[in-house]
Amino acid sequence: MKRMMAGLAGLVLGAAASAASAQDAVGFSVMALSDRLDFLRANTPVGNPSTLLYRGEGFVLVVDPGLEHTSGILAERVAEALAGGQLYTVTTHAHRDHMEASPALPRPLTQIATTYQFNGLAPETGMTRLSVDGEIVLGEGAVRIGSFPLHSSHTGGDLWVHFPQSGVLAVGDHFFLDRYPIIDVDGGGDPAGYFANIDWLVATFPADTRVVPGHSTFGPDEPRIASLDDLADWAGELRNSVSVIREMSAQGLSEAEIVEAGLGPRFAALNERPRFVSEERWIGFVLANPPPG
Ligand SMILES: [Zn+2]
């Protein structure tokens, strides 16, 4: 399993590398979401994973430490914020671009993930594991961390992270802002669960919740977060693209013919560079792993 995850991450990062090679210095673009909560959008040659840094009462939480490229900068920020408190990190899912920097964080460190994620990870000295396969709270409810109703989703073991006081929800890779998503079927994911869990997020959290996508804009654009409505609209457009692909397939077109014909201008924005998944790759994925109609 670990090998497959590494393989996928390589593919993901390789795809973005060509698209984002014009980017400048490696670092974070920072967006304050509240007095206590910062959104750090990575600027690296290989991708833009979202990291959150939360300064709680007596603790600091890092959501998705991100890539090795930004690990030194993150560790410095965390050490500054920590001031003797307890340090936690949570990974929304076990893909390299969201968790590679974990070992660079100060110790002692409590690492929060699903059992599924931990099963594919080698233990690290000074890192205590806290498995979450339901829901936990930190800071007397300032942070809620939970698993999804359907466990096969983006991967086989994803988590969401909610900050009720800030009205912010991190959904990991259940949201690729304005782009086609990766659904890691080899790593336990499933399109049916992915879409059902997005519906669940939209139906479950307060309507005015601000949503941090696993992948936001790419530099040099400013980092951007979204609303639950945006998440619902995005998933709706993905489902529409699935319908179009399915109709073309039902008319007898081969995968190559569908790619050649294209999905039309309506979906062009989802295919814009930089990106992780091209329209061609999305068509191939949908035909090989048909999401529910
Ligand atoms: Zn990702």
**What does the domain layout of the chain look like in residue ranges?**
2-288
CA of 49 to the centre of ligand 1 (A): 6
The Cβ-side half-sphere exposure at 167, using a 13 Å CA radius, reads 9
Q: pLDDT per residue over 1-39, tens digit each?
A: 333 444 444 444 444 444 444 445 899 999 999 999 999
The whole model's pTM is what? Answer: 0.92
- Separation of 276 CA from ligand 1 center, angstroms? 9
Whole-number Å distance between alpha carbons of 278 and 274: 10
Q: Is the pLDDT of residue 271 over 80?
A: yes
Which pLDDT does position 21 carry in this prediction? 43
Under the banding of pLDDT at 50, 70 and 90, the label for residue 141 is: very high
How does the average pLDDT of the chain come out, rounded? 92
DSSP 242-265: HHHHHHHHHTT--HHHHHHH---G
- Ligand 1 centroid to 249 CA: how many Å? 29
Amino acid at 108: P
Dihedral sign, CA of 224, 13, 186, 40?
A: negative
For the chain, the straight-line distance linking the first and the last C-alpha, in angstroms and rounded, comes to 29
CA–centroid distance, 12 to ligand 1, in Å, is 8
For residue 14, give every residue at least 6 positions away whose Cβ sits within 8 Å of its Cβ, in sequence order, or none: 46
Contact 199, 235 (CB under 8 A): yes
Question: How far, in Å, from the CA of 217 to the mean position of ligand 1?
Answer: 13
Question: What spacing in Å lies between the alpha carbon of 214 and ligand 1's midpoint?
Answer: 6
For the structural domain made of 2-288, what CATH number should be given? 3.60.15.10
Calculate how far, in angstroms, residue 181's C-alpha sits from the geometric centre of ligand 1.
9
- How much distance in Å is there from the Cα of 204 to the middle of ligand 1? 23
Residue among 202, 161, 175, 173 nearest 52 (CA): 161
What would the pLDDT profile of 40-54 be if each residue is shown by its tens digit?
999 999 999 999 999
What mean pLDDT is predicted for residues 247-260? 98
Distance 158 CA to ligand 1 centre (A): 11
Distance 95 CA to ligand 1 centre (A): 6
Cα–Cα distance, 29 to 217 (Å, whole number):
10
What is the CA(173)–ligand 1 centre distance, in A? Answer: 5
Residues 108 and 128: beta-carbon distance below 8 Å: yes
Give the model's confidence band at 188: pLDDT under 50 very low, under 70 low, under 90 confident, else very high: very high
Query: Rounded to the nearest whole angstrom, what is the distance from the C-alpha of residue 284 to the centroid of ligand 1?
Result: 20
Q: How are beta strands 59-63 and 50-55 bridged, if at all?
A: antiparallel
